[in-house]
Structure 1
Amino acid sequence: MVQKNQAQVINDIDENYSQRFIQLDPKGYFIIKLNSESSELIVEHFSNDINENGIATDPITGEPIKCTGISKRTPTKIFKGKSAKELGIKITEENPPLTISKLDHALYLGRELQKAEDCLINGKPYIQD
């Protein structure tokens, strides 16, 4: 029997959890970007509505928001900072009204901000999960 290394074990666990159903946050969603020229993390918040099928829809058009393609939506808020911690505090403590309402969404955002920060520090491309 081949024993998996710790990285593969973690990857398998995370992949399994990624397949579960999640309820979307009615307060909206975030797109995380890096600006390597200014060494900043940029987080854009977009509002959405959740329809009766649990699908995020554009609050103006009522159309489902697609995960692919070019978005022409305007963020409701833009947060900028040098670190994941700085942005976490700005998003959750400094800019009312709160743009996040679900604990699992907050945990996800924290993980993604840490990942983005690591990419910024190490000059790697960031891909949001």
Structure 2
Amino acid sequence: GLAAIQKEIAEGLEIETGILTIISDSAHIYNNYYAQVENILEKHRDWKPSYDDPYGFYIIKLADKKIVVTHLHPQTKQELEIFKGKTAKEIRLQLAAQNQFDTYHAIYLGSELARAQSCLEEGKNYIQDQLDEL
């Protein structure tokens, strides 16, 4: 039950379990508390994403009103392939056909491609890994 969930979370964060008291008809996190939960997790999370993908890495840019993705060799950084498209979906389909990245990297690329497409559509400058300030 709840103790098992608490234990799993504590083990995932590599911290001791504490006292668990819940008096509720339901136990879930409401949307308006997501930011608060993220802040708590950030304070206790020591996991950092790794881009050490054995298949290489990808540079995403905007050029000539297109999204351009350059696939580079993981050790030599030599250009292996270039993918171009007007939408994140076009690039995603090209990349998926290659099947050459780990799961975390695929998720990361998807979010960056979506951001690149948004910048392209809005005429904004796109810089990979740079989130817009809110």
TM-score range with shorter-chain normalisation?
Answer: 0.5 to 0.7
Q: Identity of paired residues, percent?
A: 36
CA RMSD, 1 decimal: 2.8
Alignment of 1:33-112 (within 5 A): 33-35=61-63, 38-48=64-74, 58-59=75-76, 73-93=77-97, 96=98, 98-100=99-101, 102-112=102-112
TM-score by length of 2: 0.59
* Matching residue's letter, 2:89: K
- Report which structure shows greater RCO (CA 8 Å, sep ≥6): 1
Residue 128 of structure 1: aligned partner:
128
Distance 2:120 2:94 in 1: 19
Larger radius of gyration: 2
Give 1:18 deviation, angstroms: 9.9
Q: Tell me how many residue pairs correspond in the alignment.
A: 93
Runs of 4+ in 1 over 3 A off after TM superposition: 16-19
* Matching residue's letter, 1:25: D
Q: Are the counterparts in 2 of residues 33 and 41 from structure 1 also a CA contact under 8 Å? A: yes
Distance 2:122 2:56 in 1: 30
**Gaps (5+ residues) in structure 1?**
1-5, 49-57, 60-72
Residue 26 of structure 1: aligned partner:
54
**Gaps (5+ residues) in structure 2?**
1-31, 130-134
